[in-house]
Amino acid sequence: MELYSGHINRLIDELAALPGIGTKSAQRLAFHMINMPRDKVERLAKTMVDARENVCYCKECYTLTDQELCPVCSNLKRDHNTIMVVENARDLAAYEKTGKYEGVYHVLHGAISPMLGIGPNDIRLKELMARLEGDVKEVIVATNSSLEGETTAMYIGKLIKPTGIKVTRIASGVPVGGDLEYIDEVTLLRALEGRTEL
């Protein structure tokens, strides 16, 4: 027996399909939205549609932005000679929260995972190598401490070493199997400061 009517059930189902949202959270969100003033619901819906239509990848680092270059890449005060390689835009945001890293980033949009059929050509490694033709002095590999992250880090190290560019890996402090987006700023900062050469 269905507990709610069709529109409510469809809204709950759509919300529950979002990552990290279970059925109970979806119900709470659905009822909250139904009770919101109409103009706020319309503004929320318009904001979601606008974001979907206008957000793209930065031409340099491949994070999400609504401009040609993201705020980090377009900032001339950043050290463009140092590139930190991260798996996704959430990891970039986690490092930016520390307020201590002054270089730029490169977002891979994944990690090498033979088990899942994700190889080096499925992530943004070609774009990283193209960036290294500029005046880059160091590449910091800040992939997750998972099997996939470690595999990706070793692959990047082997790819970059012949160029003569310094390649470092973030230090321990980031727990094995942990995702960077969930780690506090102090731990991330310690990992960045204690990085080692690959």
pTM equals 0.77
Which residues in the chain are classed under CATH 1.10.8.420? 6-54
What is the spatial distance between Cα 171 and Cα 72, in angstroms, rounded to a whole number? 23
Nearest to 195 by CA among 123, 120, 143, 125: 143
Q: For residues 186 and 92, which has the higher predicted lDDT (pLDDT)?
A: 92
Indicate if the pLDDT at residue 133 is higher than 70. Answer: yes
In degrees and rounded to multiples of 5, residue 13 shows phi and psi of -60, -45
The CATH-assigned architecture of domain 6-54 is: Orthogonal Bundle (1.10)
Contact 62, 124 (CB under 8 A): yes
pLDDT digit string, tens, across residues 140-171:
999 988 889 889 999 999 999 999 999 998 87
Percent of the chain, pLDDT > 90? 75
Long-range contacts of 183-190 (CB under 8 A, 24+ apart): 183/94, 185/94, 185/97, 185/98, 185/99, 188/94, 188/95, 188/97, 188/98, 189/98, 189/100
87-122: pLDDT as tens digits: 999 999 999 998 999 999 999 999 999 889 999 999
> In the chain, which segments carry CATH 3.40.1360.10?
72-197
Tell me what the pLDDT averaged over the chain comes to: 90
pLDDT higher than threshold 50 for residue 1:
no
In this predicted structure, what is the pLDDT of residue 2? 62
Where does 72-197 sit in CATH, by number?
Answer: 3.40.1360.10
Tell me: pLDDT of 183 over 90.
Answer: no
**Maximum CA pair distance of the chain?**
66
